[in-house]
Structure 1
Amino acid sequence: MAVVGVDTGGTFTDIICRTEQGFVVVKLPSSPDNPSRAILEGLGRLPLVPGQVMHGSTVATNALLERRGAVTAFVANAGFEDIIAIGRQDRLELYDLSSRKEACLVPQALRFGAPGRVDAEGRVREELTPEAARELAMRVAAAGADSVAVCLLFSFLKPEHELLLGEALAEAGLSVSLSSDILAEFREYERAATTVVNAYVAPAMRAYLGDLAAGLPDGTALCVMQSSGGLIAADTARREPVRTVLSGPAGGVVAALAVGKAAGFDRLITFDMGGTSTDVSLLDGSLSMATETVLAGMPIKTPMLDIHTVGAGGGSLAAIDAGGALRVGPQSAGAVPGPACYGRGEGLTVTDANLFLGRLAPDHFLGGAMPLFPERLPELFAALGASAGLSAIEAAEGVVAVAESAMERAIRVISVERGHDPAEFALLSYGGAGGLHAVSLARLLGVETVVVPRHPGLFSALGMLFADVVRDFSETVMAASDKTDLIEVAGLFGTLETRARQVMAEEAPGARIVLERQLDMRYKGQSHELPIRFVADPFLAFHNRHEAIFGFKHPKAVIEVVTLRIRAKVVTDKPELVEAEHLVAAVPAEAKLGERPLIWRGRELAAMWYDRANLLPGNRFDGPALVAETSATTFVPPRATAHVDGFGNIIIATGGQA
């Protein structure tokens, strides 16, 4: 059975197929108006029929960021209708007097209060009748909503009222998201916001996945990557699309961990530079997880990989602002019209700057399958430079420098600002544009080694093939250590584990299920929790972790077990990473494409171009050099040296600071 990984980005759609003979790859421009069209076209170019498609989707992300989701209503307990707008009243820009919160996804006219009340002990204080539920559903439908999020107080303890409302709303023809299904945890605002996001993007995701599934060959299974780095069935993604908001970037991080470990690098900073944005993550021997992120002003509280994103990619647009400063991004040229060198638009991008500076070759872009128009660039860069008193070359190098500065700041957020020294890590670079900037970034950060894996421009798609089928389950319990011993804590997992096994039996029938336990714990009186693996003595583990993070612990203080978490996993059959037995230092003649000029710090230099498909394990070469392949180009600047390891990765010694 052929297994295919698919990643849809803002500029390109990447497809990689694992066969018995190796990998078959397809890279083609995305179709933003209907992402499934590019995917189906790319699958049609494969030499075989896929048996399973594992897909990283940006549909939910884009619908949320661009505010193109469904007309969504919000149902809460009477008197609590506005919690979705009030939020936590945090001011992210504390000293910015002009700072404004983003508009709420649910306008006031679509917020409804429901009768009935459950208290903090899970007892019913006021009943909700079927007649009242139907009457409310009629009002919601009459208001013009297409989708509805239901979040009642303490429904994670007793969900019956939400279930009753859900039935009535579904009978009224609405798409329904219940907080007791999406996030069975305390903190009503975060639970409400996550449920609203799910409701907001669900119709678009349902239609998209329906179109994609309908276009696939009969018998082809479709799975979707979650933000947590695990796969779920397409039917689950239709119901709970909020779990896919970081779907595409998660694939690259999963692949980075597998490829990095095989190559001997346990400590990695991942650097994924695509057409629209750059995503970075820090891996210290394992995937780095987070339980909450903020997207489009809304907190999303689902398990996800800890990925930081900035709006700097190959398609990021360059412009001179009102103050005369050069800006790059976050606006992107996208797939249409794309960078100026694509021949359709005139907006200059990072890709245009690299081509103008000789770091891309028009005859090798996408393996020569996509024409570029470098003759358009001199006039455009001359005009950009003239508006800032720069030459065309200075303007192009300035575009590259500004983009790299934004990416450097992003990496410092996940490393320096969290107590990690980047110099102790290797930088693993991928994405269509990553290899052009990786060494320069590494030098800015003091990183000595850059790893460029095979198929870097399709690496997130490759990550789909390394992912397991995963579902995450949680339940708030509020158990204090002075009233609950370890045996009782272990017993609390019983109901949650039963639910996890039942759901996974439907998700992957007949498969072996692995359950991983985790506790969210805090000292009594604290407002936030630390995630702790369920080990022999989780209370001791919490004390030690609290000391490691905050510098102190209170061994005699009462600990609260706030939330139980279970990660249920079905381990999939993954691609085998085979190391070559024989290494050859000399680069073969057929791998040398000849010398071409490039611009480096205002000077023209001769750089050797190499064809990566013909490089052999063990090959060594020095910068300045460029390595061309179908999905990407890698730039090895002066003073850097490179070699190909036994797995086909290009390992670059950066040669010191910038």
Structure 2
Amino acid sequence: MGRRLRIGIDTGGTFTDVVALDEDTGEIVTTKTPSTPADPAEGFADGAAKVLRLAGAGPGDVAALVHGTTVATNRLLEDRVGDLGFITTEGFEAVLEIARQSVPDGYGNSYFWVKPPRIVPVHRVRGVGGRLDHTGAELRPFDEESAVAAARWFRGEGIRAIGVCFLHSYADPSHELAMREVLRREHPDAVVSLSCEVLREYREYERSVTTLVDAAVKPAMNGYLERIAGRVASRLLVMQSNGGVLSAAEAARRPVTTVLSGPAAGALGAAFAVGGSVVTLDGGGTSTDVAVVVDGEPALTTEGVVGRHPVKIPMIDVVTVGAGGGSVAWRSPEGALKVGPRSAGADPGPLCYGRGGTEVTVTDAHAVLGRIPPHLLGGEVPLDVDAARAGLRVLAQALGLDVERAAAGILEISAWNQANAIRRITVGRGLDVRDYPLVAFGGSGPLLACRLLDVLGLPSAVVPAGPGNLSAFGLLTVDVRSDHVRTRVVRDAEADPDAMARVFADLEGEAAEALAREGFGDDRRYARSADLRYHGQASEVRVPAPGGPPDEAFRAEVVRRFHDAHEALYGYCHRDDPRHPVEWVNLRVSGIGPITRPRPRRRPPGDGDPSRARTGARRVHFGSWEDAVVYRRDALAPGDVVEGPAVIEEFGSTLPLHPGFRAGCDGLGNLVVTR
């Protein structure tokens, strides 16, 4: 009998991270390979082949490949949405133009703000006759004649990606389904997204934009997944933004669910590796992603924004900033030093990569100050420190600084960019950042951990084992998941338990069908939740709902959880106040198909002497040049404590330990950094 390997592959902007898990023995093999931005499928295939060589296995030993991809994310961040078409209810063609009355940073700071272009310009919007009310009752029948005219117009204009969003189709999808049949007949080359399949809940603007985002990324995502399928013969699963995975075929049907695929995997990997309540910081080459984990569960939201597009799907609550290792340092017209958000990426990359880069990056600053070794990935990527120093010298002269101060300034700005992102995800959500240890991972995540402890007053920082591959490892810790939602706005006092039971039954049926397509039978389970608000409010609060029949006890428990959650979020609630009745808005069901998770392995304690892991020393700049001892991470044992100034190196990442800090190795191999 052959081996059963499950491989996680996370494609980042600079490196592709790979982890292979032997499901029978629990053995884990990790590696990295440079990303290939021109064709990410090539880097994916290279990473899979490399980890199989290291594991001494072949393609036939692979049970599944789990992939975290940035294909959809990058198209939105770079605003490459292509020629989109939009079909909506006749008379509502301006829904995208009207949008929401929101201005970035408030009106006082946005005097010169100009409304950005719509995702679909008004001349590519077509209205179709027919009308439903909010209950799904038909007010006017579907007008097939205008539907045919719209389909033929898009065919004549050569527009293939089309989103369809009719008014109140969340209540009854029949008109949208009829529109799809017309498009299949009149415009068979069209790639179509229906709002009733993408986001079956109310709020027409958000539902329209989310549907159009799905249509925009669908051609690229489908083509990418087809190229991967042509290179690998194993079952392919794709990470979703909601913290679950789906088969490649399901992801191709609704690619909008993958827009935060990579960051979600990192947060889940950190939650699995450390547990408890923590702030996660995933530092990559292009960006840094931060999230909050409470009691081992990452926070979820349905109010996400990718680039300039609101995307209303369940996703792990992540804040992303352009503060990665490849972030470019530059001098503003006013003469100030700036860092990011633009990145040198993987090709040509930082100056020290020696691939023709021309701009100074955060990685160059680390290299010049000695905080990273003169090579990456165990010597696979040699670094040209002299080239980095020469580039920094030019920038430093323009700023009127010496090389060391310029490099230190770059790292200080990068640290504050990361700190501000952490404040947004904690203080901005009503949480005290000082209550949460920091879990720092990714290739560049641990590099500024000591400085972040000082800036934010954090109690400690945890650097998990294999931090450079934690996002890829996170892909192997998550279940198959399929989310389903239905809008049903009703006052709590008027809620009909039978109607609620029918909606939950329908949603569980949809989830069961999705999981059956994934090969799950009796081992699947369902998680209910509901969105509630006080009457008159514009936004809802999502709370978990218990199982069992939605009777009076069920209703009372959900309402109690809503009051508690509202008070925790906003500092007040209207419990037992009849002037502020509770409204139910959305009912949700998540279908979950469990997978075999890795088993945490405790390591035997050492003798408390870290000198066995010492590999040498070098001059490192921590405000001034100091002699720092260099340690090999994999030679440290539980109970060992390293005192700064020091540098702890490993294959995929580096931890510079500033003077006044120490790092202790715990029983799982994590490094715990404290003052």
* TM-score over 0.5 for the pair: yes
Matched letter for residue 196 of structure 2:
S
Aligned residue number for residue 201 of structure 1:
217
Aligned pair 1:639/2:657, yes or no?
Answer: no
Aligned residue number for residue 339 of structure 1:
350
- Greater CA drift, 95-104 or 74-83: 95-104
Offset of residue 312 of structure 1:
0.7
Counterpart Cα distance in 2 of 1:489 and 1:584: 61
From 72, 79, 101, give the equivalent of 1:89.
101
From 172, 180, 184, give the equivalent of 1:158.
172
Aligned residue number for residue 42 of structure 1:
47
Aligned residue number for residue 191 of structure 1:
207
Aligned residue number for residue 196 of structure 2:
180
- Greater CA drift, 436-445 or 528-537: 528-537
From 211, 222, 228, give the equivalent of 2:227.
211
Aligned pair 1:650/2:671, yes or no?
Answer: yes
Aligned residue number for residue 288 of structure 2:
278
Counterpart Cα distance in 2 of 1:629 and 1:181: 45
1:492-535: per-residue Cα shift (whole Å, max 9, x none)?
31222122212211123335111111111112222111112214
Offset of residue 282 of structure 1:
1.3
Aligned residue number for residue 645 of structure 2:
624
Offset of residue 544 of structure 1:
3.0
> Do the aligned partners of 2:603 and 2:637 also contact (CA within 8 Å) in 1?
no
Aligned residue number for residue 587 of structure 1:
610
User: Is the partner of 1:471 in helix, strand or coil?
Assistant: strand
Aligned pair 1:23/2:25, yes or no?
Answer: no
Offset of residue 68 of structure 1:
2.1
Counterpart Cα distance in 2 of 1:116 and 1:552: 41
Aligned residue number for residue 590 of structure 2:
567
Offset of residue 418 of structure 1:
2.4
Offset of residue 649 of structure 1:
0.7
> Do the aligned partners of 2:286 and 2:327 also contact (CA within 8 Å) in 1?
yes
> Do the aligned partners of 2:132 and 2:167 also contact (CA within 8 Å) in 1?
yes
Kindly, what percent of the aligned residue pairs are identical?
A: 37
Counterpart Cα distance in 2 of 1:489 and 1:118: 21
TM-score of the aligned structures, taking structure 2 as reference length? 0.93
From 264, 285, 290, give the equivalent of 2:301.
290
Aligned pair 1:576/2:576, yes or no?
Answer: no
Counterpart Cα distance in 2 of 1:376 and 1:132: 63
User: Is the partner of 1:348 in helix, strand or coil?
Assistant: coil
- Greater CA drift, 143-152 or 491-500: 491-500
Counterpart Cα distance in 2 of 1:331 and 1:594: 36
Offset of residue 577 of structure 1:
0.3
Counterpart Cα distance in 2 of 1:303 and 1:40: 29
1:153-196: per-residue Cα shift (whole Å, max 9, x none)?
01011111100111222331100000000000010000001000
1:574-593: per-residue Cα shift (whole Å, max 9, x none)?
1100112434311253x211
- Greater CA drift, 412-421 or 390-399: 412-421
From 314, 318, 339, give the equivalent of 1:328.
339
Offset of residue 130 of structure 1:
4.0
Counterpart Cα distance in 2 of 1:368 and 1:169: 55
1:214-236: per-residue Cα shift (whole Å, max 9, x none)?
110x3x00000011110011011
> Do the aligned partners of 1:8 and 1:57 also contact (CA within 8 Å) in 2?
yes
Q: How does 1:410-429 map to 2 (within 5 A)?
A: 410-429=421-440
What's the Cα RMSD here? 1.5
> Do the aligned partners of 1:5 and 1:464 also contact (CA within 8 Å) in 2?
yes
> Do the aligned partners of 1:479 and 1:562 also contact (CA within 8 Å) in 2?
yes
Q: How does 1:180-579 map to 2 (within 5 A)?
A: 180-216=196-232, 218=233, 220-261=234-275, 266-285=276-295, 286-343=297-354, 344-363=356-375, 365-484=376-495, 489-510=500-521, 512-535=523-546, 536=554, 537-550=557-570, 551-555=572-576, 556=578, 557-579=580-602
> Do the aligned partners of 1:70 and 1:203 also contact (CA within 8 Å) in 2?
no
> Do the aligned partners of 2:287 and 2:320 also contact (CA within 8 Å) in 1?
yes
TM-score of the aligned structures, taking structure 1 as reference length? 0.96
In structure 1, stretches of 5+ residues that fail to align are: none
> Do the aligned partners of 1:81 and 1:113 also contact (CA within 8 Å) in 2?
yes
Offset of residue 28 of structure 1:
1.4
- Greater CA drift, 391-400 or 133-142: 133-142
> Do the aligned partners of 1:581 and 1:646 also contact (CA within 8 Å) in 2?
yes
1:410-448: per-residue Cα shift (whole Å, max 9, x none)?
111111232222221111000100111111112211112
Q: How many pairs were matched up? A: 645
Counterpart Cα distance in 2 of 1:564 and 1:385: 57
Offset of residue 69 of structure 1:
3.0
Counterpart Cα distance in 1 of 2:42 and 2:522: 32
